[in-house]
Structure 1
């Protein structure tokens, strides 16, 4: 049977550049945040670009879209748990059908990056809490700790991290998938403005050091509250990183 790989992440976690590796592989059909289409529309306040009206807009419709694709090829989809949290928490059958991979990034960095794109993001959109909830559901469902990747490890040692992930998934590590042309894949067009760095990348790299996050928190006190709320969930998952 073809594989179904679900990469569950939170916004600004470097999930898009990890997804790009699977696009470059060529042996997976790749879906970019399909469940966002049940959470948002072209009229939503969240920044979006070329809206894809061909995708289903209900949980059941999106899930079936993925399962139908699996009938013809391996499937990789990445999404944010907060997009579909209530449905996903109780859909054990769907979670059991796939390899569930979790990607986390230190919340100060992800929150500040998020703020630059969408300053009015609500609390739940930071995403760490929803991600942790599904992490717990999968742990209970499978009886073992799910596979967790820290985005900073991915940036520092991409070949090692992707190699270990391939071993875990039982797929071949393909060196050619670790580099690419600067372009916007079709999957990204709806959310293109969120992925400028990924679009202009040629490989996974560790970014240059940024100024202290604490200065930004002092300028925007709301961000400190978002950080304090979500950092516990990050810490709980980070201890299980591969």
Structure 2
């Protein structure tokens, strides 16, 4: 039976570099933030690049696209819960048809990284609260705590984390998927400017100057407010990291 893996994330959580591992595997059809097309258009204020006008733009259309792909092979899709929160919260049938995994990153780093690309980001776009809401829905649905990855652990020990994830998903660990050429996969072109570091990487690396991020938060009341609002949701999920 074909697998569908849903990687639920918040922005700037290193979810894209984890997605790159699944692109390199070659045994999954990979979708990059498909639900973003219901949340945004080419005219939206959020920075975007080469807009894919062929992509479905409704929740039902995007879901149908993913399920159709699952019918022909393994599927990996990565998305932000805030893109489709209201629909996703009540669509337990869809959630039950996939392996739901979650990735979180300390909000000081994710907020500062987000701010550098999109300074006018709204509160909900930080994403930790929406991510936690879906984490709770999946916990209730399955009766088990979902699989949670801390992005700092992924960066520090990528092979250990990816091996553990493969074991959880009952798929083979493929060493060749841990390295790649510096290039922009087709899936990323709409949001290319968000993934400059990932595009120019050759593997998962650790490069967080977290104290610099905290210093920046302290100097900005807006960023500090965003941090204080979202960090409790991060802390709750972090208690369950593998």
TM-score grouping bracket, smaller chain normalisation: over 0.9
Q: Deviations over 1:74-104 (max 9, x none)?
A: 0000000000000000000000000000000
CA distance, structure 2, for counterparts of residue 61 and residue 20 of structure 1 = 25
Corresponding residue number in structure 1 for 2:169:
169
Deviation at 1:220, TM superposition (A): 1.9
CA distance, structure 2, for counterparts of residue 152 and residue 43 of structure 1 = 34
Counterpart check, 1:190 vs 2:190: yes
TM-score calculated relative to the size of structure 2: 0.99
Corresponding residue number in structure 1 for 2:142:
142
Counterpart check, 1:37 vs 2:37: yes
Deviation at 1:210, TM superposition (A): 5.1
The residue correspondences of 1:7-26 to structure 2 (distance < 5 A) are 7-26=7-26
Aligned residue for 1:155, secondary structure, equals helix
Q: Please, which runs of 5 or more residues in structure 2 have no aligned partner?
A: none
CA distance, structure 2, for counterparts of residue 184 and residue 102 of structure 1 = 24
Q: Deviations over 1:166-187 (max 9, x none)?
A: 0000000000000000000000
TM-score calculated relative to the size of structure 1: 0.99
Corresponding residue number in structure 2 for 1:48:
48
How big is the alpha-carbon RMSD for the aligned residues of Structure 1 and Structure 2? Answer: 0.8
CA distance, structure 1, for counterparts of residue 200 and residue 92 of structure 2 = 37
Aligned residue for 2:181, secondary structure, equals coil
Counterpart check, 1:79 vs 2:79: yes
The residue correspondences of 1:97-176 to structure 2 (distance < 5 A) are 97-176=97-176
CA distance, structure 2, for counterparts of residue 205 and residue 49 of structure 1 = 25
Q: Deviations over 1:97-130 (max 9, x none)?
A: 0000000000000000000000000000000000
Matched residues, number: 242
Q: Deviations over 1:131-175 (max 9, x none)?
A: 000000000000010000000000000000000000000000000
CA distance, structure 2, for counterparts of residue 160 and residue 88 of structure 1 = 31
Aligned residue for 1:222, secondary structure, equals helix
